[in-house]
């Protein structure tokens, strides 16, 4: 019975964090007109400089197609520019524009200052334990999602309807 109670507690805490993250996401959208994935890509570009979409995808923890969609939207807003490599025309690089640098400088923390402060206030060992536990939990959930994505096409071919899903191992992303 203890596991059931702990699970309910986990669900409650995740829901509270989810609501806080949703509120922070709406705040970022209101203040700077960006989604969290867009802000993560801008942040990665700000840290990494001129890079490929593949490198941005990895840095922002987005699937490559999602990263390209985010880059399309950022380019349409004039926050980034893309250009082909002079050495290999197949490679496309992205970089922040002045407008993108200004948006990044004025953007709030993706998780919010409250969460950043609460995390920083935890003891180092407590932060490490939290990160270790979250990494294990997310790896397990991601692996199960990948297995489910592999099984769904077979189910669909048998006449069953399945909900849309993200590429194997990737959660759906808000572009």
pLDDT digit string (tens) for 128-169? 999 999 999 999 998 888 787 666 555 444 444 333 334 444
DSSP-derived 3-state class of residue 93: strand
Between these two residues, 105 and 170, which has the higher pLDDT value?
105
DSSP-derived 3-state class of residue 96: strand
Average pLDDT over the chain reads 85
Between these two residues, 174 and 97, which has the higher pLDDT value?
97
* 8 A C-beta contact, residue 24 and residue 110: yes
pLDDT of residue 151: 61
Q: Quickly list DSSP for 12-52.
A: HHHHHHHHHHHHHHHHHHHHHS--HHHHHHHHHHHHH-SEE
Q: Is the pLDDT of residue 53 over 80?
A: yes
pLDDT of residue 72: 96
pLDDT of residue 144: 86
Average pLDDT over residues 7-18: 93
Between these two residues, 149 and 48, which has the higher pLDDT value?
48
pLDDT (tens digit per residue) in 75-131: 999 999 999 988 988 889 999 999 999 999 999 888 888 899 999 999 999 999 999
> Cα separation of 65 and 121, whole Å?
37
Q: Is the pTM of this model over 0.75?
A: no
């Amino acid at each position: 019975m203890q596991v059931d109670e702990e699970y309910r507690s986990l669900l409650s805490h995740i829901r509270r964090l989810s609501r806080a993250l949703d509120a922070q996401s709406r705040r970022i959208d209101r203040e700077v007109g960006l989604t969290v994935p867009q802000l993560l890509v801008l942040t990665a570009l700000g840290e990494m400089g001129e890079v490929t979409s593949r490198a941005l995808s990895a840095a922002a923890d987005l699937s490559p197609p999602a990263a390209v969609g985010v880059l399309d939207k950022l380019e349409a807003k004039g926050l980034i520019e893309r250009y082909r490599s002079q050495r290999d025309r197949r490679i496309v690089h992205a970089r922040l524009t002045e407008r993108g640098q200004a948006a990044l400088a004025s953007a709030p923390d993706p998780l919010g200052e409250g969460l950043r402060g609460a995390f920083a206030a935890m003891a180092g060992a407590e932060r490490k334990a939290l990160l270790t536990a979250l990494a294990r939990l997310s790896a397990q959930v991601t692996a199960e999602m990948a297995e489910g994505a592999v099984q769904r096409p077979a189910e669909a071919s048998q006449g069953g309807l399945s909900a849309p899903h993200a590429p194997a191992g990737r959660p759906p992303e808000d572009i």
